[in-house]
Structure 1
């Protein structure tokens, strides 16, 4: 297939593209605006592949998207472009509304025009795959409840509300116009190339520098953790074999309290990075509790039974094996982290495009 990936320079998008180019024969066009979270260095290992193309463009730029569709002639679009950081959405929701809602609307209209003009055989085979989050469901208060594909939406943050709105738009374009869509809602991803403001990389890098490890509230919030490479495999199963109009929840079967995640990182660092910063006796001593996030959801947990039953996907990594791989990757790639933290990955990109 020829697959157009939006947001392919982001964390999950880059993992998907690396998977596509190393594990499949598909061709890829990466369309990314390159906001702060878009990092082409995450694709350095595959960027020279002749099956890979990159286009810097905004999904809300219908002219640019239309030209890309006409030129690349994709058989599928996998839509990952989104603003995705909850704290940022609380501080400034405008970008989330613009990208996640208005951008998705604009993209749907561009794709619909392209799809309508395809010859019948290609039109029947085309797929629009919208990648979303389990945060649209709100939170769970019982210890045994799980999010299913029919759980009512109850988003808590500007981020999750904007993603919920985009999900509704995608379903409406399927119902109203017949656009052949697929939706997936995933749990918390982690793994290599994760932007350092996120929980797991932030804790690793802060610990290595002897900085506090800030944990919201009492740290008892529960998340289901999904190794990003397992997610990439799941996305390929859905876009290749999923049933049009259906939603598939993707989870790692790895529920962990935030505080336990931080402690597990500290334990791995004791083993893998025993040379501690000056004045640090144990990495765990750096844990500090900070004021909780407004509207902080208590528990997320996904029932991924549907994708297992219908498409045969299950995660390969346990939380323990995936976290060990993740910590090891950050220890081995501190230069990548430094370039993100000091902003040089953006400055050089801007200079090259000037």
Structure 2
């Protein structure tokens, strides 16, 4: 729908006011055709296999690359950002090997739930003022929020491929409102990374084959969250005690020195998720997992994948006191958990004890992947 310059200005003022009232820290506008380079970059990402097992990216590549393909009626895209900057350097948890390191964003309530309701409120005000139609998205639809945020001027995609803001560093949640209203777009932000490559050099698994390119298959966030199978052996030691995601490339960004701490009223981190003891997490069954992570994004990966991650951390802990708990998981109903328990126990138990366990376990184990775990672990314990 066509609107006058003065109407556009009044509508934009309303959007800015409502965004602040809803707790967003930044808001900007982009045109639907503002990311012309995104389709080719996305196609290259998929062609190289960097998306790993995330087939939903390949399946939605056309809609993801062109906002107007997702919704032809869209005339303006409002991008909103919420700061979730921590009050501490999350990398400090990596030295506490008997505890789990959980990505900062997952220590809060699920940001999808936090943001979506507020975006809908703002969208409703837009329709009430300007008419037309709106659609709200928070990382659950084929929308390329980061390129759109860059085009709208909220920040730029850094060499780690995440959005970086001069005001909020690398700690921003993004959401979008697609609208049929015509709004004046904001100016794109320039890249301010310069020669810095701190985010590339800090990556434990070398997940960046080049600046601005991410091979998700090597990324700890992908390996601990999206990956549904066993953690590949080459990455297990490098994961350390990271049991859900990884903040290293975000936390090392120099622009974080300008970032403010997230408001507790918006995103209150759970103290019990900052550095939870591995000994407690290893004991989670499905019911206690669901209860403990109620309202958390961690709940979405399920108990088995999560305990798999905790077992990798246990194997890296060097804490022999965890061995009895790990041994109990050798009989878990999930082959994914049993396989991870084998690896963890191979690093915690005395060699002779492990070899005796392996002899009996191999006779009873009928899952091929778990048997492979036993066999791959045995050479180190059969000397």
What range is the shorter-chain TM-score in?
under 0.3
Higher strand proportion: 1
Larger Rg: 2
TM-score, normalization: structure 2? Answer: 0.25
TM-score, normalization: structure 1? Answer: 0.27
Higher helix proportion: 2
